[in-house]
Structure 1
Amino acid sequence: MFVVSFFAIGGAIKSWGYILRVHEKRKQRLKSCAYVLILANLLTIVIEWISKIIPSPFKYILGIACILIGVVFVSLLETEPSKNVFKSEIKCPELYRKSLMLLILFTFTISGISGLMFQVINPSHLNIKNTVSWHGALSYALIILLLYILPPKVRRYHFLHLGFIMIIAAFISFLFREMGKAEFLVLGMLISAALGIFDLFLWSVLGDMLDYADKSSLALGIIITMKVLGGLFGELLGITVSSVGLDKAYITVIALCGVCISLFLLPQLNSVLILLLKDHPYLAYYNNDSGSNVVSLDLNAAIVDNLLTERECEVFHLLLQGKSNREIAETMFISENTVKTHVKNIFRKYKVSSRMELVNAVLNKTS
């Protein structure tokens, strides 16, 4: 029965991904993801609270009622894709595959850390677990609401670092302090808020990446699987550590290793995603020399005539970031002569003779 339930939940999330892709504009997808995460979390709190005050038979009735209400809302959805929604005309399969692979590794690592946290830290205060669950869900929703109401120009990238700081603080506090109920409550809220930051990052980025996917349901299915497997791996690791009776220091070291892996993956994930996505709020755009923000131009808007090959797509993006031929060669792991050949082909196809003329041509085409 549990297998059927989880299969149905996975199917529902994949369906949501399809709707996100065909009915929502790219700039609205972060808001849509925030809506879904906040409302789903608040609905979970309400249902959990109601289920504690009603007899057991009515709990099943409540569950069936929620399913029927969901079916009604699904029937009201539009079946035809919106004409105003961005549709990718240029496919960069190599960039997409690399982005998806890094996102999978990042998702698995973060889910593993969360599974370890809740398996090791929560059992130490089982008597207030329900209170922590309620406050944690509230902090989860509030941090997502904060990220939602921030102006579009405000980059959310540094909130990811804040999430890691919260996780590190939680494990270090668990290591060095015998926590009371109030401290443990704050700890649970910190952990849940950090997970809210990462969840909004994951789903909003994945929502934009679906434009480049031939099979969007497959990409969603893989990410969902990695979230489940990562959480399960973390919980099993926590159970093993607890059963062996290892000291808290070992648990903290294991968790911090996971954080280090995630921090190692994050800049790589960011550098690949900025080649694929246009100006996503969770990504950081920096100039290598000054560290200042640079303008991001959308590949699909710029190359509407499908002029460039897959490799030229990647070189094109790096050119617009102001990278030299040597830097492009190092980034793409190809020779500098190969880069020069790609650059010449791009100039020829755009009928320009310099990088400045190329930028002007792109700006004229996108304006």
Structure 2
Amino acid sequence: MVRIKAASPRLISAMGCSLFFAYILSFVFEGQVLYSLLGSFGIETFMYLVIAMAAHLLGLLSCGFFVKSPGVVRHVMVASMGLCAAANAPFFFGPSPLWLVGLIVSGYASGCVVASFGYLLKLLAPKCERLKACADVLIYSSVAMIATNAVAVNISATFGLALSLAGVVLGMVLIWALPVQSMTEEREKADHKRNQDSGIKQPLLLLALFVLVITIDSGLMYQVINPAFGHLAGLASWYWAVPYIAALIAMRNLPSKIRRANALYVGMAMITAAFISFMILGRNALDYLIVDTLMLGACGIFDLFWWSILAEMLDFTDRPVRIFGLGLAANVLGVLAGDVLGRHLVSLKLSDAEVAVVALTIVSVTVAMLPILNRRLVMLLESHAYLMVFGSMSKPQQTAVIAQSPAHDPLTAREQEVLEVLLAGKSTREIAAELFISESTVKTHIRNIYSKYDVRSRAELISTVLKSQIEASS
């Protein structure tokens, strides 16, 4: 334990969470271990998977309401991991109602662990390092999951479950060894002061839509493409994660001068090429390698893309567990939606080519939305970053910044007041309350301000007024 505590807290958290995430990927979240266990008894998997994912979703959404401090984070994570290990004990015996109970408990508890990871990410990784921190967890967990799946498919599903639960126990030890309680009161106060007025509802909702669109395609893939290569179960049980991991490694080590959005376009091209390849190629091992490499490579790019954006959002809030849980909940909903959509397509008894055409159409429509969503999301995040810097300035400095970005037409005295409060990050309702005017009057003033600055949104206004001055002074 002494040696563990001497290691880097970021490394300890990455390894501990990776071991637990590997358990989620191999069991709770459409995992091969769960598939193998249910299949060995001839049990239909869909109901179990939906129940597990619904419980996981509930854990992601509710955990943020009671996890609000470093000490609580560690206790909740360790207790939830222990619950998962205990709840899965019935799976070592024959099928019984306890299997459903165990899935519900482990699904909910695993959601709490994943959401709580958001707190560790904010606490232990600087903003500039969070993409790498997310990549490390996704890579390590995928490698551990490959090993677990291989055991479940080629040796025994029960042995695979035992291996994944051993990872859970080791993850508990590592998380308990984290020195998260050493965070000083000054740091907590500084974080709270900096974050408490930085509402991120709009960018978070936009990111949730972004994640939903991406993961619908992933769920569709599982139900449309994977069954077509069912005769290659041995190869598919481990190779599917290889291009995924390779894409994560490539994204993790991208030179800083390469824009993250460029990777998004590469992923879009790969996922489209995967479905086209699925339509024109056969169903042998080489064809599977081509389709899977394109598909899972794209998934790796997309996953790290939105994970890193979600991680950056943690600086804008003093409730990182709630924010992280909401972002990951969109992922679960997207996978469920894609699963249902894919199952419906398969149930229509169409040929592989016809199913692929329909799936490709859906993918093309959803993928086309990504650049638009990304541009809007980037603008919103930039505007919040500028607001945080602006809020840390003194009143004279704020006045000087606004004065150096004049509107095309002079603002009235009241419009100037509205602009100053707006740049403090206040909502329309809060502006109305502070200036003792109605919300409709505030909206009228804001429309006039937009017109005089020749902008069409609050984010664009913030960027226009603050960007050049803040960047020049930094």
Matched, 1:264 2:373: no
Q: How does 1:1-367 map onto structure 2 within 5 Å?
A: 1-52=102-153, 54-55=155-156, 58-80=159-181, 81=183, 87=191, 89=194, 91-93=197-199, 96-247=200-351, 248-249=353-354, 251-277=356-382, 298-305=386-393, 311-312=422-423, 335-337=447-449, 340=452, 359=468, 363-364=472-473, 366=474
Secondary structure of the residue that 1:89 maps to in structure 2?
Answer: helix
The answer to whether the 8 Å contact 2:208/2:327 transfers is: yes
- The CA deviation at 1:238 is 1.4
Once residues 7 and 101 of structure 1 are traced to their aligned partners in structure 2, the CA distance between those partners, rounded to angstroms, is 23
Q: Distance in 1 between matches of 2:174 and 2:244?
A: 25
Unaligned runs of 5+ in 2: 1-101, 399-419, 427-444, 456-463
- 1:92 touches 1:310 (CA, 8 Å); kept in 2? no
Q: Give the direction of change, closer, same or farther, for the CA distance of 1:306–1:10 in structure 2 (3 Å limit).
A: farther
Inter-CA distance 71–337: structure 2 relative to 1 (3 Å threshold): closer
Q: What do residues 118-148 of structure 1 show as CA deviations (whole Å, max 9, x unaligned)?
A: 2111111111133134222111111111111
Specify the SS of the correspondent of 1:151.
Answer: coil
Counterpart of 1:286 in structure 2 is: none
Equivalent residue of 2:378, what SS?
Answer: helix
Q: Deviations 1:81-122 (Å, cap 9, x if unpaired)?
A: 4778994726442xx222111111121121111111121111
What is the TM-score with the length of structure 1 in the denominator?
0.75
Aligned length: 318
Q: Distance in 1 between matches of 2:160 and 2:277?
A: 38
Q: Deviations over 1:29-49 (max 9, x none)?
A: 011001001001011112222
Do 1:140 and 1:196's aligned partners in 2 also have CA atoms closer than 8 Å?
Answer: yes
State the percentage of identical aligned residues. 29
User: RMSD between aligned alpha carbons?
Assistant: 3.3
Letter in 1 for 2:472: L
Of residues 15-24 and 254-263 in structure 1, the stretch that sits farther from structure 2 once superposed is 254-263
Deviation at 1:182, TM superposition (A): 0.3
After superposition, the Cα gap between the structure-2 partners of 1:126 and 1:297, relative to the gap in structure 1 and judged at 3 Å, is closer
1:72 Cα deviation after fit: 0.8
- When residues 275 and 314 of structure 1 are mapped into structure 2, their CA distance, relative to the original with a 3 A threshold, is farther
- Contact 2:117–2:321, Cα closer than 8 Å, also in 1: no
Greater gyration radius: 2
Aligned AA for 1:259?
Answer: S
Residues of 2 paired with 1:230 and 1:219: CA distance? 17
* Structure that is richer in helix per residue: 2
What TM-score, normalized to structure 2? 0.60
Between the aligned partners of 2:373 and 2:166, the Cα distance in structure 1 is: 45
Q: Which runs of 5+ in 1 are unaligned?
A: 279-295, 316-332, 344-353
Secondary structure class of the residue paired with 2:240: helix
Once residues 212 and 469 of structure 2 are traced to their aligned partners in structure 1, the CA distance between those partners, rounded to angstroms, is 42
Larger RCO (CA within 8 A; separation ≥ 6): 1
